[in-house]
Homo-oligomer: A and B are copies of this chain.
Amino acid sequence: MSSYRVVCIGLGPIGIKAAELAAGKSCLEIVGAVDIAPDKVGRGLDKIVDGGPANVTVHDDIATCLRETKPDVAIHCTSSFLATVDGQLLQTVEAGVNVISSTEELLYPRLYHTEIADRIDAAAASSGVTVLGTGINPGFLMDALPGFATAVCYDVDKITCRRYVDASNRRGPFQKKIGAGMDEASFRELADAGKLGHIGLPQSIAMLGEACGFELDEIQQHTDPILANGEHKTDYVHITAGQVAGIHNTGFGKQDGQIRVEMDLRMYIGAENPIDEIVIEGNPDLTLQIPGGTHGDFATAAMLVNGIPRVVRGPAGLKTMLELPIPTLLR
């Protein structure tokens, strides 16, 4: 087994979890870290990341850090939006470093950002490195995994993915992100402004559509609040009946007016039957379930770290989860 030199770009909650996981893998060596938060820059990584190396100091500049550390791969966790991270990705790629990123829009970047995707793809191809956006959702549950499941079918008429998450035991920022504890009007105001809710559903729909061979001509998503019908208390928030308990994201992809891909994502405090479910209507029908569901934060960190060998050894360019071999557990 080869050993890979890793730089962690972005030390928010997911970036820290990924770094903690990477620090424990015998085939990975964390050689650098980048973040712009003043309370992180200049500190030893052991102060921020459980098990992180003390001799790695957090940089505030990507290019300098990469030049000094010469890593094989960057674990990139700074923002959900391509237009925010494209400069970071280009700097990394131009330094000859492979990228595995939690940026949700990078899962299927050509959906809304062809130009940025072309630029990153060209730079990656010319540097001979691979760029991949992944995670648990988007990246696995509502796109790559159901895509893989279609391989056992003769035909698929429609595919539906459901993810019901009990947010009670998730981190505070996550509970805030889903609007827990807000009143309905404030929730809708923020949701309409695009400041609330899950990022990546249209990208999952588009990628799964490609996996099924659909030519989707319409992709839509909606965000609604789920209101609490009783009292709930978590470490971070206290909700009374009628307040927002969380979020209901729905989405679909249509081809010629017919829904072919459908998504139903509910993340709220007090969800009673958490589950991940894929339902294929086709020949044959097929239902795949993960009872209890999958923990989002941990699983995204796992996807980022376990995916490293696929990205380091992958073909040069900007790739999707449909273009690389399946990631599996990295020891």
B150, B298, B326: the one contacting A322 at CB < 8 Å is B326
Q: How many copies does the complex hold?
A: 2
- A268 CB → nearest B CB, Å: 20
A291: which of B151, B287, B294 is its contact (CB, 8 Å)? Answer: B287
Q: Does A144 interact with chain B (Cβ within 8 Å)?
A: yes
Q: Which of A294-311 contact B (CB under 8 A)?
A: 294-295, 298-299, 301-303, 306-307
Whether the pair B286, A288 counts as a contact (CB closer than 8 A) is no
Complex Cα distance A329/B325, Å? 16
In the complex, how many residues of chain A place their beta carbon closer than 8 angstroms to a beta carbon of chain B?
A: 45
In the bound complex, how far is the Cα of B145 from the Cα of A301, in angstroms? Answer: 20
Query: Which residues from B are CB-within-8-Å of A156?
Result: 329
Chain B contacts of A306 at CB under 8 A?
Answer: 150-153
Most chain B CB atoms below 10 A, which of A213, A302, A325: A325
Please, how many angstroms separate the alpha-carbon atoms of A282 and B151 in the complex?
Answer: 27
Apart from A287-B290, A322-B326, what are 4 other A-B pairs with CB-CB below 8 Å?
A: A136-B152, A145-B148, A287-B292, A324-B325
* A residues whose Cβ falls under 8 Å from a Cβ of B: 21, 136, 140, 144-145, 147-148, 150-156, 211-213, 284, 286-292, 294-295, 298-299, 301-303, 306-307, 321-331
